[in-house]
Structure 1
Amino acid sequence: MLSEMFYWLFNMSISASVAGIVVLLLRRIKKLPRRLVHILWVIPFIRMWIPVGIRSKYSLMTLISKFTTKSVVLYDGTLDFSFTNYIMAADNYFPVTYKEDMLENLFSIASVVWIIVAVALSLIFAILYVLAKSELKDASLLRDNIYVSDKITSPAAYGVFRPKIVVPKGYELRNLHYIVAHESAHIYRKDNLWRIIAVISASVHWFNPLIWLFLKKFLEDTELACDEQVLANCGEDEKKAYAMALVDCAESMGVFASPFGGAKIRVRIDRILSYRKLSIISIASLTAFAVAIGYVLLTNAS
């Protein structure tokens, strides 16, 4: 059973890699809003967890299937559902019957190693997160949901269900307007929840080096998307003030970011200063573009 689970997980990891590479290429288009790119990262994460997809001749997997892969039909009806099978190491799939005993032994051993490392990584990340939160129990309330602590070096939003903004000792004497705006945007966007999901996904697919690259870029785009969220509610003359607050925070106390990571300051400053609010037509066009990309990457080969 574990071996069979790992067989399909390995296939899902390959599908996620294909989708993630496409997102990596799209994020190189500088004019694409980071909020859109951030949403597109959902596609490879879905591929990491859901093995089943609707069959379509317009799927990217249909093109790939001409060279290396095939679909294992799960349901043939009005909507055809299938598994994408890149490995093609079995004669039957329900349950998986491998073509050779050597392949069965290989996947049996690999599945045990996989589950041990996946559980270990998940526990490590969980312990680190709990320890980070426990150290902030003695943070003193400043106002609203803003707290002050001498155990951190940069402002951050902590927690998922009852999030709070924590700033380092000494920051209470500063103008916190843009810091609070940034961290409040993280809370509004539920970024801490998405980070946790992303880290768990990477822990499950730890054997795939591309997944760790995707996680790094996802965390970077989380910060860039959050910056855009703040700027969408700011006037044109506030962009420079927001950028200066970011530089001031970075120079004095580390990185102006949330607890799991962020983008390089120079990249963020460049995007902040070049930010332009989207028109209704642009929003509609980008939405249609995202839907089309999602359809191409989430459907399976026909």
Structure 2
Amino acid sequence: MEQLFLTTIHMSILSCFVILVILITRLLLSRAPKIFSYVLWSVVFIRLICPFQPESAISLIPKQLTSKQTENVVFHIGKSITSPKALPSKTVTQTNLSSTPLSNNGNNFISSSSILAAIWLSGIICLLFYYGITFYRLQKRISTAISCCDNIYEADNIATPFVLGYFKPRIYIPYNLTDDERNYMICHEQVHIKRKDYLFKSIAFFITCIHWFNPLVWVSFFLMSHDMEMSCDEQVIKQLGSGIKKSYTTSLLSIATKPYQGNQLPISFGSGSIKKRIENILHYKKLPMQVSLLLVVLCFGISFCLLTNKNTVDAKNPLNVLQSQTSTDHLTKTSDTSAKIKAKKIQAFADKWATAFTSRNATALYKLTYNKKDFSKWDMVTEYEKGKYSFGWSSPWPWDPDYITVIKGNIIYIYYYAKVSDPHVTVWKETVKITEKKNKLYGDHIKTSYFDEISSKKEFNQAYKIQSKYYFPDYKKLEYTKIIQERANQKLSDDFSFYSNYKSPETAAQYILNLSGGNSTIQSQKGNEAIIKYSFKDGTSIKIPMYQPEKIGKDGIWVVKNK
């Protein structure tokens, strides 16, 4: 649901640009028949519901809105390289690191995006519930309606005509209308049915419910409804002739001034803005064929430009066009590489760098480094001979090439999970700056942060927060819990006394997550699960879910619970 919410947010932001273009176009077409602006609103709702669009060279959508410039989090699964001192275990896979959502304020393990996604879903449910209640009340109100002919029904407790139903739409009109009012309103509603307006408006309403948080979407829905009504009025005038304008507007005004009965559906064809409808009817004139064709072409062109994204390859550069038609290999060599290809290129470099790091391959790291004269200054590099280097140490070390990379522009953040045979895991975070030279990527090691003693909430976030989620080592999936339980059960010497840290949820949370300087208390405990409140020195706190994976009771060890 979280990913769906984020995708919806992206589509909603992109659609804001489309809405603004349609609003400007609508203003320019204020004297044109409303059918054109009505049709253009469909572009907005297609954009709001469809995450994928074709590409074209003439798209009006800015590249910044369609290219994913946000952080890219990539989980890398590589070969297992076993440390000589490492605890025997299975190859680390993606499931070895499970994510536990945590709120930004540190009060519970729910990410901010999860909270927002829940609020978003609640809003949709509330709107649909409101629609359902209104639909039920309206059905109850018209249950006594009398059939006049075919699909036309008269009811004495409604104020305005409307169409109701999807598969067999019915027209409901108020009782005691004059003959003119009755004929005009039936003709008006029949146009709605013929054009399938009732289906389009229903779909548009449900799409609006999905994007309920975006005020521009609501503006689009209501303006689309007004344009729908006015274009329908124009069609009635076109069918019955311009001579009925006065009597038709009088009928609209008469019906609009009737007492409001309530319980009208959001998707019903209401009276809309009567003043604007009357003004539009009085100013409506049938356009010459040439002008109509010109407007059709204009609307088609605008729709095409708004329903497509910019080409990822610069169409103005013939070399790029030629290379895009040959192969991806040629495309990656162009100077104007697309954002998507560039991201893949950077990710491939990040993988090479991280693999060289975890395998302690000094030669590979040296080749990947841009400022080679600074290579010997790294905190893990030793120059044992002129021009010959060694890198890293034996323990703790992220021997398994199991890491997470985060790419922000030309900066790569790599999260390594250093292990010792106790067993225990510590997060290392390396910062690498990317430089491109002659179409080849190089990197410079900026720093490595070691989170073996986390004494503040800021450090906690730096160690475990990746985008909107928190990622912790899963001791159960790493197969650490069995051996920890076995050793904790034994009468161990002082050298192994730290296994007693796992005997209570307070000390286990502090030890596993490398927390230092604060204090932890049990907030709640039930069976083999507990919630620990850990308070840092600065007064901030977090709640940590713990559980007993092997044995329940006073002899069972405790580890962090990953949801």
**Counterparts in 2 of 1:84-163, with a 5 A limit?**
85=68, 88-92=70-74, 105-163=111-169
Alignment-derived partner of residue 287 in structure 2: 278
Alignment-derived partner of residue 164 in structure 1: 170
Alignment-derived partner of residue 52 in structure 2: 52
Q: Is the 8 A contact 2:153 2:173 kept in 1?
A: yes
Q: Is the 8 A contact 1:148 1:172 kept in 2?
A: no
* Structure showing greater Rg: 2
Q: Is the 8 A contact 1:133 1:158 kept in 2?
A: no
- 2:25 is the counterpart of 1:23: no
Q: Is the 8 A contact 2:160 2:271 kept in 1?
A: no
Alignment-derived partner of residue 189 in structure 2: 183
Moved >4 Å (runs of 4+): 101-104, 172-175
**Counterparts in 2 of 1:233-244, with a 5 A limit?**
233-244=239-250
Alignment-derived partner of residue 97 in structure 1: none
| More strand, by proportion | 2
- Which amino acid counterpart does residue 222 of structure 1 have in structure 2? M
Partner Cα separation in structure 2 for residue 49 and residue 16 of structure 1: 10
- Tell me by how many angstroms 1:292 deviates: 0.6
Partner Cα separation in structure 2 for residue 242 and residue 173 of structure 1: 12
Q: Is the 8 A contact 2:159 2:258 kept in 1?
A: no
Q: Is the 8 A contact 1:151 1:168 kept in 2?
A: yes
3-state SS of 2:27 partner: coil
Structure 2 residues not aligned, in runs of 5+:
76-101, 105-109, 312-563
244 and 109 in structure 1: CA distance in 2 versus 1, 3 angstrom threshold: same
**Counterparts in 2 of 1:158-237, with a 5 A limit?**
158-171=164-177, 175-237=181-243
| More helix, by proportion | 1
- Which amino acid counterpart does residue 15 of structure 1 have in structure 2? L
Partner Cα separation in structure 2 for residue 284 and residue 10 of structure 1: 37
Deviations along 1:142-173, one digit per CA (max 9) or x if unpaired, are 23322221221122222222122222222266
- Tell me by how many angstroms 1:253 deviates: 5.0
Partner Cα separation in structure 1 for residue 214 and residue 113 of structure 2: 15
Q: Which has the higher contact order (CA 8 A, sep 6+)?
A: 1
Deviations along 1:203-248, one digit per CA (max 9) or x if unpaired, are 1111111111111111111111111111121222222222222222
Structure 1 residues not aligned, in runs of 5+:
72-84, 94-100
3-state SS of 1:136 partner: helix
Partner Cα separation in structure 1 for residue 66 and residue 199 of structure 2: 34
- Tell me by how many angstroms 1:92 deviates: 5.0
Alignment-derived partner of residue 39 in structure 1: 39
**Counterparts in 2 of 1:71-86, with a 5 A limit?**
71=67, 85=68
- Which amino acid counterpart does residue 39 of structure 2 have in structure 1? I
Q: Is the 8 A contact 2:38 2:224 kept in 1?
A: yes
Deviations along 1:101-149, one digit per CA (max 9) or x if unpaired, are 8899222221122122212312321331233123212201223322221
- Which amino acid counterpart does residue 59 of structure 2 have in structure 1? S
Computed over aligned residues only, the root mean square deviation of the Cα atoms, in angstroms, reads 2.7
3-state SS of 1:232 partner: helix
Q: Is the 8 A contact 2:162 2:269 kept in 1?
A: no
Identity fraction in percent: 30
Q: Is the 8 A contact 2:162 2:270 kept in 1?
A: no
Alignment-derived partner of residue 265 in structure 1: 274
Partner Cα separation in structure 2 for residue 170 and residue 224 of structure 1: 25
Q: Is the 8 A contact 1:163 1:187 kept in 2?
A: yes
- Which amino acid counterpart does residue 129 of structure 2 have in structure 1? L
35 and 265 in structure 1: CA distance in 2 versus 1, 3 angstrom threshold: same
- Which amino acid counterpart does residue 205 of structure 1 have in structure 2? H
Give TM-score scaled by structure 1 length: 0.82
- Which amino acid counterpart does residue 232 of structure 1 have in structure 2? K
Partner Cα separation in structure 1 for residue 241 and residue 186 of structure 2: 17
Q: Is the 8 A contact 1:149 1:168 kept in 2?
A: yes
- Between stretches 40-49 and 157-166, larger displacement belongs to 157-166
